[in-house]
Structure 1
Amino acid sequence: MNEAITQAFQERISEDDLLNCMKCGFCLPACPTYVETQDEVHSPRGRISLMMAVRDGEIDDVHEVEESLNVCLGCRACEPACPAGVNYGEMLEEARAIFYEHKDVPLQEKALRKTTLNMLFTDQEKMGKATSLLRFYQRSGLQKTARKLKVMNFFPDHMQQMERVLPDVPKRSKQYREVTFPSETAHTKATAAMFKGCLMDTLFHKTNQSTITLLNRAGCDVVVPDTQGCCGALHGHSGEKAGAKELAKQNIQAFEQADVDYIITNAGGCGAFLHDYDHLLKNDPEWAERAKAFTDKIVDFSTVLMKLDFANEMPLNIDQQIITYQDSCHLRNVLGVADAPRKLIQAIEGAHYIEMPHADQCCGSAGIYNLTQPDMSMQILDHKMENVDTTRATTIVTTNPGCLLQMKLGIERTEQTDTMHAVHLADLLLEAISTDG
């Protein structure tokens, strides 16, 4: 197997890309797993060295390399820190795909992947039904009964805490059927197509509605293409590159007919993967140009609100509170959005904004990382909450569903549910408008 993996590395991961890493170490303080372990095996330059060794056939046990790559959060904080511009994220996903394609996947893992990645996340109707079951669990009394009988005690501590912080699932809505939500201003300033996502359109449907309302108030027409699907990030990050490509093509086709200025996202993880469609399909002659045209329009909703001067034109007011902001890694490191969310928060009267130390470092969520690497995830989260506490914040704002759940989990773990809460930026801004009105 080693020979096959070595050959795949030689064919699919450029030696020049690997050699771009100068081993300077600028990435080390930016890398959460290195900060936690102080182990070069868990640093970006260490992992690149391991990839090079696999490519050169110098490693006997490639499983140790695979484990190092799996421990990586994929936050890509090393990229903006790198003076040589190494495309670490691209090499990481290619390496993970090679390992996945060349290993004997256990039957249990195959079944889990088929159920989640190939059935649930590729079918919005199934995703809706799955979240409806969760809603039934929450509303029927089953949740109270399960807690009373201490059923969750059979699960690890972090799983018990996750169950407690899951948001109330909203009633399923069929309003997004290729519909346009018109601007609420006298003159339309921009047009946008909304990427609704999987979890965002089910578990966090309210946040999608908040985002559309904010854009409408800012003077933007919003259309929601009906044939769009999952962004493919979970597939791409877990080595299933072929599945990610199919989802990318589906989404590109869904948005091609929309004559819009922007394709809007409100989930940093989804937005970053959509932004990388041009790289994902760069070797496909039929789709490369179409992917580039698609990615050129990808933008976070906070950026559009700032462009439309939302913060200056819309009165924003909330009850007095201390607010801090946790960056979505992919929003900051891939899409380059860091200032817009902060400026929008600071524009709210009543919001006393305090910058969190190391807000730009990962919270430990990273898609499903908190499920696959729970020990490292919780270690990172616990240190994140120490940074939150220095701000004395009562509100933590995020711009990604995974980050939001992770910060809620952090609040639960530190027993601060009575004094602190986490909220998506879109919901906070809408609350600020409603409070004013």
Structure 2
Amino acid sequence: MAHPVATEPKPSAPLTLHGLSVEGVDRCVHCGLCLAYCPTFSELGTEMDSPRGRIFLVKSLAEGRIQLTDSTAEHLDLCLGCRACETVCPSGVPYGQLIEAARAEIERQRPGPPLRRLFRWVNFSLLLTHPRMLRLAAAGLRVYQVSGLRTLLRASGLLRLLPASLRHWEPLLPELPSAAERAPLPEVTPAQGARRARVGLLTGCIQQVAFGPQNRATARVLARNGAEVVAPRAQACCGALHAHAGEHATALDLARRTIEVFERADVEAVIVNTSGCGAHMKAYGLLLAGDPAWRDRAARFASRVRDVSEFLAEQPLRGPLAPVERTVTYHDPCHVVHGQKIRTQPRALLAQVPG
């Protein structure tokens, strides 16, 4: 990948960090322990594409010592947000919060050309915030994938007529499951046997249309292990994707909506099976700390959010369990191991399966 080329600086205001204290930036002592764990630094080898370099950029922007140029924005945008640097940081720098706040300010100052703004509006303001629109789009995408239209367009070269950004995204689209598997879960799945808890399940936005079978499996396993599972129909996106992409105001709105929906459901815990969503929802208290009307509600809600492996590992799985005669490899999702500090629970669950 070519190194971003610096462009002529354009006038910009000093970077504000949406309530994040600059003290969090000052914790970085530039020791470099994060460098070996950063995928973009390992790939590109440039200081400004490391956590340490990006922290320096954000601090310099916040203090008004440098301008927000295209090159600076690209260095920050190239961060994958994996937060591996947080796990090894001896100073506890809140890097994930820092990069999201910086991206929010970049989007405010430099929203980009009209086509990019339209693309972001369709995704972040239309589809992800309106579940019915997202389901409709998913149905169209499923037809595109299974009807032969995709094969025809790829073979004919017509996809080359699309803008470069859309051509890049087309092969990355997930293979969508059938309509039955994308359908919403029952609002309540009864516990099997003695009820252990009444829990909410985040079915979310992308995971319901792209990973519906996984949501159904999650509900089955929870119910089999004594949980009454509530999947409120009124829920939508938790706002994680918006926060990662710098859509700060929408992320706040979706956090409030999610809190309200699960408060009405009257559940003891909110179970999440997607790592990024879980890490984001556990940070709702921090996200809404500046809103007096929501601060305490957000903190209470965040304390009840649990990764599905975290919840299930609290007690032995209910048997009997059928043996699985195969070798499996477990991959730690970034926002589970780094964002939520969960490492042993998934392995403990797998160890209980005979075979």
Specify the SS of the correspondent of 1:342: helix
User: Post-superposition shift, 1:108?
Assistant: 0.4
Superposed counterparts of 1:348-387, under 5 Å? 348-350=353-355
Q: From 297, 300, 314, give the equivalent of 2:304.
A: 297
Retained in 2: the 8 A contact 1:169–1:202?
A: no
Output the aligned Cα RMSD. 2.5
The reply to whether residue 70 of structure 1 matches residue 77 of structure 2 is: yes
| Map of 1:123 onto structure 2 | 130
- The equivalent residue for 2:4 is none
Partners of 2:122 and 2:184 in 1: CA distance:
27
Distance 1:240 1:60, change over 3 A: closer
The worse-fitting range, judged by mean Cα deviation, of 236-245 and 138-147 is 138-147
Question: Aligned letter for 1:184?
Answer: Q
**SS in structure 1 opposite 2:266?**
coil
1:181 corresponds, among 179, 189, 198, to 189
Q: What is the TM-score normalised by the length of structure 1?
A: 0.73
Letter in 1 for 2:253: E
| SS of equivalent residue, structure 2 residue 254 | helix
Quote the residue 1:340 is aligned against.
345
Secondary structure at the aligned position of 1:222 is classed as strand
Note if contact 2:182-2:210 (Cα within 8 Å) is conserved in structure 1. no
Number of the residue aligned with 1:5: 13
Query: Which residue number corresponds to residue 327 of structure 1?
Result: 332
Query: What are the superposed Cα offsets for residues 125-155 of structure 1, whole Å, 9 maximum, x if unpaired?
Result: 0111111112222343434544665656778
Aligned-partner residue type, residue 162 of structure 1: L
Larger fraction in strand: 1
Q: How does 1:37-436 map to 2 (within 5 A)?
A: 37-60=44-67, 62-146=69-153, 149=156, 162=172, 166-171=175-180, 175-176=184-185, 179-185=187-193, 187-310=194-317, 313-318=319-324, 320-350=325-355
The one-letter amino acid paired with 2:314 is K
Q: CA deviation at 1:321?
A: 2.7
| Separation in structure 2 between the aligned mates of residue 60 and residue 301 of structure 1, nearest angstrom | 43
1:24 to 24, 28, 31: 31
Partner AA of 1:131 in structure 2: A
Q: Helix, strand or coil for the counterpart of 1:299?
A: strand
Residue 190 of structure 1: how far off its partner (Å)? 1.6
Rounded to whole Å, the distance in 1 between the matches of 2:294 and 2:238 is 16
Indicate if the aligned counterparts of 1:54 and 1:62 stay in contact, CA closer than 8 A.
no
Aligned residue identity for 2:215? N
**Identity, % of aligned pairs?**
33
State whether residues 122 and 230 of structure 1, in contact with CA within 8 Å, keep that contact through their aligned partners in structure 2.
yes
Unaligned ranges ≥5, structure 1: 351-437
| Unpaired stretches in structure 2, ≥5 consecutive residues | 1-8
Q: TM-score, normalised by structure 2?
A: 0.89
How far off its partner does 1:300 sit? 0.8
1:260 partner amino acid: V
CA contact (8 A) 2:127 2:134 kept: yes
Change (3 A) 1:315 1:113: same
